[in-house]
Amino acid sequence: MKGIEKVCQFLDEAGTYFLATTEGDQPRLRPFGTALVYGDKLYIQTGKVKDVSKQLAANPKAEICALKDGKWVRIAGELINDDSRDAKAAMLEKYPNLKSMYSVDDDNTQVLYFRNATATFTSFTEAPEVIRF
Ligand SMILES: Cc1cc2nc3c(=O)[nH]c(=O)nc-3n(C[C@H](O)[C@H](O)[C@H](O)COP(=O)(O)O)c2cc1C
């Protein structure tokens, strides 16, 4: 399994992760759940109307943290908007429940992929593992 797929599988199995952005000098965190490897990139999904989207437009630096079975991953990097229909469609296929709120052609659905990402898996018992993508 490729490193990026291992990272996505961990997010899938954790179910919920927390996504940090910044608003000026104020950190902002919220729970997120979407994660998809598409075209060798790790994508997340949100709505352009949300504050999180506006924060990422102003400053793409972001960090994710997810915890599962005593092991956690932090993914630091930049989240870059991708307006391609194909990427949005793939995301909605993975999360069909989103189709009640979002569609490929609305002006709200947004997918973003990690650029310059460093994922670090950590636990109290094993040495950290770093995956870059
Ligand atoms: C378990 C869980 C998973 C969530 N996953 C997402 C997600 O993948 N994308 C999203 O836009 N919102 C998701 N949400 C909703 C956001 O947390 C919520 O809209 C949040 O207020 C967005 O941050 P903001 O207010 O800073 O814009 C999720 C909420 C929960 C409780």
Q: If you measure from the C-alpha of residue 126 to the centroid of ligand 1, how many angstroms do you get, rounded to a whole number?
A: 31
Q: What is the pLDDT of residues 113-127, one digit of tens each?
A: 999 999 999 999 999
Residue 30 backbone zone (phi > 0: left; psi -120 to 50: alpha; other: beta): beta
- Choosing from 51, 52, 95 the residue with most ligand 1 atoms within 8 A of its CB, the one to mutate for a pocket test is 52
Q: What is the reported pLDDT for 115?
A: 98
- Choosing from 11, 44, 50 the residue with most ligand 1 atoms within 8 A of its CB, the one to mutate for a pocket test is 50
Q: What is the reported pLDDT for 53?
A: 98
Quick one: which of 73, 50, 60 has its CA closest to 22?
Answer: 60
Contact residues of ligand 1, CB 6 A cut-off: 16, 28, 30-34, 45-47, 50-52
Q: What is the reported pLDDT for 132?
A: 98
Q: What is the reported pLDDT for 62?
A: 98
Q: What is the reported pLDDT for 1?
A: 85
Quick one: which of 105, 119, 132 has its CA closest to 71?
Answer: 119
Terminal CA-CA length for the chain: 14
The whole-model pTM stands at 0.98
| Per-residue confidence in pLDDT tens, the chain, 133 aa | 899 999 999 999 999 999 999 999 999 999 999 999 999 999 999 999 999 999 999 999 999 999 999 999 999 999 999 999 999 999 999 999 999 999 999 999 999 999 999 999 999 999 999 999 9
Q: If you measure from the C-alpha of residue 127 to the centroid of ligand 1, how many angstroms do you get, rounded to a whole number?
A: 31
CA distance 22 to 46: 16
Q: If you measure from the C-alpha of residue 122 to the centroid of ligand 1, how many angstroms do you get, rounded to a whole number?
A: 24
Q: If you measure from the C-alpha of residue 50 to the centroid of ligand 1, how many angstroms do you get, rounded to a whole number?
A: 9
